[in-house]
Amino acid sequence: MNQHLRAIYEAGVLRPLEAVSLSEHQEVALVLQTLDADLDDIPTSPIWEFAAELASTLPDDEWEKLPIDGATALDHYLYGVHKGPRNTHYLPMLAIGSQC
């Protein structure tokens, strides 16, 4: 049985702030979540910095396994839509520096 309740820690003992349905001396497992943590102390950074940091941990050989047309053929990789002329949303990816 799971119960969610609030408690106060005093003199080495957790004191529930509401009634608890337990038998006397019943052992329980606790997961503690402090509610008064100052969120300003948690380090934060923009999502793009997190993504760049995460990407920097991948070895080069893993990057080479990724498809180069991932953005233009997204429906293919997500939903299995045919890649090519039958897919009206398909735009071939141009190589960097190619002549149009």
Q: How long is the chain?
A: 100
Taking a C-beta distance cutoff of 8 angstroms, is the pair 33, 42 a contact? no
Task: Kindly report, residue by residue over 15-45, the tens digit of the pLDDT.
Answer: 999 888 889 999 988 888 887 666 666 667 8
Residue located via tokens 């820690």: 9
d(CA 76, CA 83): 6
pLDDT digit string, tens, across residues 40-62 = 666 678 888 888 888 899 898 98
49: tokens are 């910095």
Task: Say what the pTM is.
Answer: 0.33
Q: What is the pLDDT, as a whole number, of residue 92?
A: 55
The torsion of the CA quartet 44, 45, 50, 56, rounded to 10 degrees, works out to -110
